[in-house]
Amino acid sequence: MAARHTRWMVGMAAAAMFAASGIAAAPRTEKGMTLQVPAEHASMGKVYYVLPGKDGQITFTSDAPLEHIKGTSNRVVGYAIAPTDASTTGALMAGEFVLPVASLNTGIPMRDEHLQSDRWMGAGSNPDIVFTLKEVKDAKVAKEDAGFTTWQVTLVGDMTIKGVSKSMEVPARITSMPESEKTKARAPGDLLAIRAEYAVKMSDFGVAKGDPAMESGKVADEITLDTFLLLSTVSPEAGR
Amino acid sequence: MKPFVRLFALILGVAIVLQTLALWDATGRAAWTRFHDAERAAAEAAAQGGSLADLFEGTGVHDDAGGALEALPNAFALGLLPSGPDRHAVSVLTLAGPGALIALWSFGGLLFCRRSAKSCCAPKHHQVSVER
């Protein structure tokens, strides 16, 4: 009885540590089109919500010797917190971006099924790929004009794939566009665009380690991710 | 089997192989067969009219990446290999493979007929007379 109780205690402690490590993503809203922004983040500055579903948001490429695989998704949800001072919008302070594994599309249904299987991304037990933005480094203005400012930055945060978190630094460009007559015709609110191209090693996250497809040169260990996220200060659920 | 039937089968087999390779080449030399996704095409067409992404053209946001995000190809492509059990089973391997086998079998038969002293292509009554 005592042993069972001890095991239960150890299990609970492990679960608490897991939660505290930041692996759990912010929960989705009821409609599921964005995340619930934690109060401590919302109070830090201006909240920008990722606008999923319309434009392409991410492409991933595996350039292995035997096969070139390309996939896409436009189901990324999340948010970013920017300083309230418009002149420093690019220096994002926090954020979270969630990519549902089930939304990864390579154009071949059977390959998508394989990708989502437990041997690969394990969509059943780890349904999301999460990037938690902790800070932005080296922000400098790259281009400025009437109506927009573009920054060259380094995003610092944790990437979680298949339940494994790794700290990452991602070079990116961020463009802010305050609301105007021109922008209102397309989407309400102040707009923000984040473009980042970077590589992720699957073996770092324990994905398909030693899998025959990887060993035989059909799938590369290093996957290139190209991300273009569009965000607005108006939630995608507003007015729905 | 009569020689002209073998010759006809040979031509048929070669035609299947050549046409399959021509289709593979014309549809982008893909490794795996893929089909047009109407749902995705509709979503992309909707995004074309007043895309939010267009607003950011020329702002420098794409400068490090060398251009806007590339879209996934969405046209039919005959692949070298089948990509599934359903309609995705059609491929160069499954079309040209049997075609090549027919062509090889016919060609082999023709060669054998020409070289064989006891012609397999000869009329039956002649074969019977040879056996006697």
pLDDT tens per residue, range A175-214: 999 999 989 888 899 999 999 999 999 999 989 877 888 8
In a domain, B110, yes or no: yes
Round to whole Å and give the CA distance between A51 and A64.
32
Instruction: Tell whether A106 is within 8 A of chain B (Cβ).
Output: yes
Q: What is the pLDDT of residue B48?
A: 65
In a domain, B87, yes or no: yes
Residues in A closer than 8 angstroms to B41, CB to CB, are none
Confidence of residue A226 (pLDDT cuts 50, 70, 90): very high
pLDDT mean over A214-221: 86
Please give the tally of structural domains in chain B: 1
In a domain, B126, yes or no: no
Span A149-182, pLDDT tens digits: 999 999 999 999 999 999 999 999 999 999 999 8
Instruction: Tell whether A198 is within 8 A of chain B (Cβ).
Output: no
pLDDT mean over B71-88: 90
Question: Strands A46-50 and A58-63, how do they pair?
Answer: unpaired
Instruction: Tell whether A111 is within 8 A of chain B (Cβ).
Output: yes
Instruction: Tell whether A64 is within 8 A of chain B (Cβ).
Output: no
Q: Nearest CA to CA, how far is A224 from chain B (Å)?
A: 12
Span B97-113, pLDDT tens digits: 999 999 999 999 888 87
Q: Which residues contact A31 (CB under 8 A, 6 or more apart)?
A: A237, A240
CA–CA distances in Å: residue B25 to residues A114, B22, B74, B94, B115 = 27, 5, 16, 16, 37
Which carries the bigger pLDDT value, residue A56 or residue B22? B22
Is B56–A105 a contact, with Cβ atoms under 8 angstroms apart? no
Q: Nearest CA to CA, how far is B89 from chain A (Å)?
A: 11
CA–CA distances in Å: residue B73 to residues A56, A67, A106, A191 = 13, 16, 9, 28
Range of the domain at B66: 2-121
Round to whole Å and give the CA distance between B113 and B122.
8
- Among B44, B61, B76, B80, pick the best mutation site for testing chain A contact (most A Cβ within 10 A): B61
Confidence of residue A218 (pLDDT cuts 50, 70, 90): confident
pLDDT mean over A132-139: 94
Round to whole Å and give the CA distance between B53 and A228.
9
- Among A49, A50, A51, A54, pick the best mutation site for testing chain B contact (most B Cβ within 10 A): A54
Which carries the bigger pLDDT value, residue B102 or residue B121? B102
- Among A195, A218, A233, pick the best mutation site for testing chain B contact (most B Cβ within 10 A): A195
In a domain, B58, yes or no: yes
Bridge partner residues of A225 (DSSP): A60, A198
Question: Strands B30-32 and A77-82, how do they pair?
Answer: unpaired
pLDDT, mean over chain B: 84
Residue in A215, A208, A219 with CA at minimum distance from that of residue A162: A208
Task: Please report how many Cα atoms fall inside a 13 Å half-sphere around the Cα of residue A173, on the Cβ side.
Answer: 24
In a domain, B132, yes or no: no
In a domain, B127, yes or no: no
pLDDT, mean over chain A: 87
Round to whole Å and give the CA distance between B75 and B41.
9
Bridge partner residues of A227 (DSSP): A58, A196
Confidence of residue A4 (pLDDT cuts 50, 70, 90): very low
Q: What is the pLDDT of residue B52?
A: 84
Structure tokens at B64: 């490090």
Is A186–B51 a contact, with Cβ atoms under 8 angstroms apart? yes
Percent of chain A with pLDDT over 90: 63
In a domain, B131, yes or no: no
In a domain, B81, yes or no: yes
Question: Which amino acid type is present at position A163?
Answer: G
Percent of chain B with pLDDT over 90: 47
Closest in A110, A150, A172 to B84, CB measured: A110
Round to whole Å and give the CA distance between A44 and A150.
22
Confidence of residue A240 (pLDDT cuts 50, 70, 90): low
Q: Search chain A and give the residue with CA nearest B32.
A: A108
Round to whole Å and give the CA distance between B66 and B79.
29
Of A41-45, A178-182, B62-66, the poorest mean pLDDT is in: B62-66
Q: What is the pLDDT of residue B41?
A: 83
Residues in A closer than 8 angstroms to B59, CB to CB, are 143, 145, 148, 150, 175, 177, 193
Q: Helices B92-115 and B3-26 meet at what angle, rounded to 10?
A: 150
Structure tokens at A55: 């434009």
Instruction: Tell whether A195 is within 8 A of chain B (Cβ).
Output: yes
Closest in A108, A175, A187 to B61, CB measured: A175
- Contacts by residues A6-14 (CB-CB < 8 Å, ≥ 24 positions apart): none
Round to whole Å and give the CA distance between A209 and A221.
9
ipTM of the complex: 0.80
Q: Nearest CA to CA, how far is A68 from chain B (Å)?
A: 9
Is B61–A106 a contact, with Cβ atoms under 8 angstroms apart? no
A7 pLDDT above the threshold of 50: no
Radius of gyration, alpha carbons of chain B: 26
